[in-house]
Structure 1
Amino acid sequence: MKILRFVFPGLTALTLISLAACGPRPTPAQQAEQAEKAVLASHDTLMARMDELYDLRQKLQGAPGVDTVTAGRHRRALLTADAAMMDWMHHYQRPADSIAGPRKLAYFAVQQLKIDSVARLMTRSLDSARLVLQQAAASPKPSAQ
């Protein structure tokens, strides 16, 4: 009886894992649909940050304490991130319903790589622009004596 007490839970877990593995797998069409949702969710997340790009560009333009070369470099990085997002949106085209699931899945995999690249570019440019502005705000101001 003591053996059954230790073996039974293990067999139960093994049975549940086996049943889960035998469960219905998503079809290629369902996988493509999930991949499309993931790509569009990434897009939506980035779109929510587009105002940040604009705001930081404006702040860099008139920020006291930031030299014009540094401000210009960071503003261009923000513009590049903005352009990358616009470029991705202009080139993204949802595959026709007549396209086979595996081809759609491949298309969405490439689009995910592209939108992830845009996300890295955007995050990097936003973070560095914020850092420049924070450093300028924290630097000692010359006194007017």
Structure 2
Amino acid sequence: MAYLCGVKMFCRFAALVLLLPLLPGCLSLESDEEKEAAAEKKLMARHDELMARMDELYTLRQQLGRVPDTLAAGRQRRALLRADAAMMDWMHQYRKPADSVDHARTLAYFGQQQHRIDSVGVLMQHSIDSARVLLPAASH
């Protein structure tokens, strides 16, 4: 009897070990539509975060317009303008995929757009940081 219990326990353990690699696939309960919605939500959250900083770009550009017109100040104004234009370009080219577009293509599009909007964010941050460094030095 003890032998049979041991065999049953071993069989249960072996079955568990064999099924364990399949577990992550079973736990992924998110539908294709939910994955697409999550990718779009993340993308739009980044867009909204950057849009909230557009006033900052404008304000810094205005402040740089009031400092002596140096090569560095002109360069910074143009950098801020490029960041602004990059955001506008992203918004003008973005088109949410139609519901009829294949799931894999939709996710790939959202991934590509995430990369693009993140690049816009890097450009914005760099131009804002550089302008802030220049402004105190230029006002003296």
Q: TM-score range by the shorter chain?
A: 0.7 to 0.9
Higher helix share: 2
Percent identity, aligned pairs only, is 55
Look up the match of 2:138: 136
- The amino acid across from 1:115 in the alignment is I
* Structure 2 residue 60 is the aligned partner of structure 1 residue 62: no
* Structure 2 residue 114 is the aligned partner of structure 1 residue 118: no
Question: Which runs of structure 1 show a deviation greater than 2 angstroms over 4 or more consecutive aligned residues?
Answer: 20-25, 134-137
* Structure 2 residue 93 is the aligned partner of structure 1 residue 94: no
**Aligned partner of 2:36 among 29, 32, 38:** 32
- Distance in 2 (alpha carbons) for counterparts of 1:130 and 1:101: 43
Look up the match of 2:49: 45
RMSD, aligned α-carbons: 2.0
- Distance in 2 (alpha carbons) for counterparts of 1:60 and 1:51: 14
Secondary structure of 1:99's match? coil
Look up the match of 1:23: 27
What is the aligned length?
120
- The amino acid across from 2:93 in the alignment is H
**Aligned partner of 1:76 among 62, 78, 90:** 78
- Distance in 1 (alpha carbons) for counterparts of 2:28 and 2:51: 35
Look up the match of 1:15: none
- Distance in 1 (alpha carbons) for counterparts of 2:105 and 2:131: 39
- The amino acid across from 2:126 in the alignment is R
Task: For residue 68 of structure 1, report the CA deviation from its aligned partner.
Answer: 1.8
TM-score w.r.t. length of structure 2: 0.78
Larger Rg: 2
Task: For residue 69 of structure 1, report the CA deviation from its aligned partner.
Answer: 1.1
Give deviations 1:81-111, integer Å, cap 9, x for gaps: 0000000000000111111221110000000
